[in-house]
Structure 1
Amino acid sequence: MRAPAGVSTLIKTSLAASLLAGCAADTPEQRFERWRGDGREAQVRAYADHLARHGVAAVAPLSQQLRSGRNWRWCGADEFALPPRASWPRSVATLRLLAELRAAGLIDGARIVSGYRAPEFNRCEGGSRQSRHMAGGAYDLELAADTDGARLCAFWRRRGLATGFGLGFYDRRRLHVDTAGLRTWGGDYTRKTSPCLRPGAVGAGSGAAL
C-alpha cells in the first residue's frame, strides 16, 4: 500500500534533513577526536605535553596542527598525522613564529590546513621532493580575506633572519610558513614571484621546499 503523497513527501524531507544534519555534525574537530581515540591517545598526549612545556600549546588547535593536507581522501591517507618525535623541536619553533605573527595581528582568522606529511602522502599531495612538511615544523595556512600581505612581507624582512622564516605565497589566501631558513617564494615556487621581494629587500634563498 502506497503512503499518501503528503506523508511520503514528509518522510523524504525528514530523511534528507537527518542526512544533512549528520554531515554538518561531522566536523574536522569531531573527526580528529575519533582519529585520536583510535589507539593514538598516548602519542597525541605526549605531543601536546611537549608543546605545553615549551609554551606553544595554545597557538593552534591540535585538530589543525596535525592535519595532513587537503587531499587526504583522494590519496587514501589519514586526515591527521603525528610528526615523528625527533621533529617536535621544529614544530615548537614554527609555532612560536605563528604566535608572534598572531600577536602582531598579521594572521587573524587564519587556520592551519596542512602540517606534517608522510613521504607517500606528500607525493600524492603534490609536494616537493624536499618538502619541509616531511621534516615537521612546516604549516600551510588558509588566510582570512582581509589579511594584509604587505604587512606579512614587512615582518618577514624585519624578523625573517632571526627566526629562519620561510614564507611562501601559493596565492592571496594560502600561505606556507616554516622556520627552516630565510627564504620566500610566490605562485610558481620561485623567489622571483614572491610579493616580499622588491628593490632593497632582504635577500632570500633561491628555491622553495613546500
Structure 2
Amino acid sequence: MVEQFERAILTGELTIGEQLPSERELADQLQISRASVNRGLQCLSRRGFILIKPRQGNFVANYNENGNLETLNEIINFNGGTYRPSLLHSIFDVRRLFENDMIAQCNDSEKLIAVKRAFAKLQMADSVTEKAEQSFWFYHQIAVASGNSVYPLLILHFKSIYLTLGRWLIQSGDGPALERGLATVLAALQAENPTLARQRNNTLIDFCLSSLLAA
C-alpha cells in the first residue's frame, strides 16, 4: 500500500491537497485490513507524503514542505532508481558544503587513524552493500575527526542517502574509481593539506554526480 501511494503521489496521479478515501474504503479497495491501512497511512504521514487531519480525513501533502530525509530517500529510490537530475545536483551540492567544511577542520592526526581504518575496511569489503556501508563510515569518521559535534550527527541522518548513492555507483562499475578518489582524500589529510583534500573531494563529488547522471 505504501509503495502504491508513494508512486501515485510522485507521478502526479494524486495531487497535493487531494483527499484520500476513508480507511474503510481503502481497506475494501485494497482488500486488506483496516489495521494495515492505518499503519500504511501512518508511514506515509511520517514520510511527509500525506497529512492526517483528525475528524477531517487524510490529504496528499506537499512533501517539499512537509518532508524529511526519509522522504528524500524514498524519492531518490522511486521506481527502483529513477534518477532526477535536479535532485541529484541538490544532494551533491549539500554534500560538498558540509563535507568540505569538516575536511577543513580535520587536523587531528590521532583521529585520522579511524578514517584510515574505515578506508581499509572499504578495501577489504567484498559485497556492494558492505562497500557502500564502509564508504559511508569513511565520511562519518572524517566528521568525527573534525571535532565538530554536529557533523557526525548530520552525516548519520544522511546515512540512507550515502548508502543508496554508494550502491548505485558500485553497481554501475564505479567502485574502483570511488575507492581511488577516497584514497586521494585520505592521502591529502594525512599530509596535513586540507586545501588539497577539499580539492580532491570536489573532484570525487563531480565524478560521482556525472556518473549517476549518465547512468
TM-score range normalised by the length of the shorter chain: under 0.3
Q: TM-score, normalised by structure 1?
A: 0.27
Select the structure that is richer in helix: 2
Q: TM-score, normalised by structure 2?
A: 0.27
Select the structure that is richer in strand: 1
